[in-house]
Amino acid sequence: MQHGDIKLAQICSIIASDEKCHETAYIKIAEKLFPNDMEIASVDMMRRKISMPAHLMYDGHDHNLFDHFAMVASRIGVYTARDCGEIVEPLVAKWKVEKLTGLTSEGREAQGYV
């Protein structure tokens, strides 16, 4: 390692590995729900916006702590709307969402939204 802390790199590696396990599980679950239920659930999440557990952050003073954190993270490029798109777009392509057939009317509406 040229720069940085070895322990921090190890911690980040463990976290990344755990996140990959979550991703794999979510993808397998989602694939069981296709086509209608997953389309509808995906759109529902997009409309409501996905909230991470960190939205519960509270330091005992600032009730908007997560909002402030999220604004700073976006401003400095840690996690932006573009990042979110880069996560969603490959899934939409993998599942060939635009080519799904046999959807209910609600499923077709959701397909159009995605």
The angle that helices 105-113 and 36-48 make with each other, rounded to 10 degrees, is 50
The answer to whether residues 22 and 49 belong to one domain is no
Is residue 2 scored above 70 in pLDDT?
no
Provide the residue count of the chain. 114
Tell whether pTM > 0.75. no
The answer to whether residues 46 and 2 belong to one domain is no
The answer to whether residues 88 and 60 belong to one domain is yes
- Output b/e per residue, 87-111; b: 16+ Cβ within 10 A: eeeeeeeebebeebeebeeebbebb
The answer to whether residues 41 and 25 belong to one domain is no
13-65 pLDDT per residue, tens? 999 999 899 888 988 888 887 777 777 777 777 777 766 777 788 899 999 99
Question: Which backbone phi and psi does 100 adopt, to 5 degrees?
Answer: -65, 140
Q: Residue 10: which H helix or E strand, with range?
A: helix 6-33
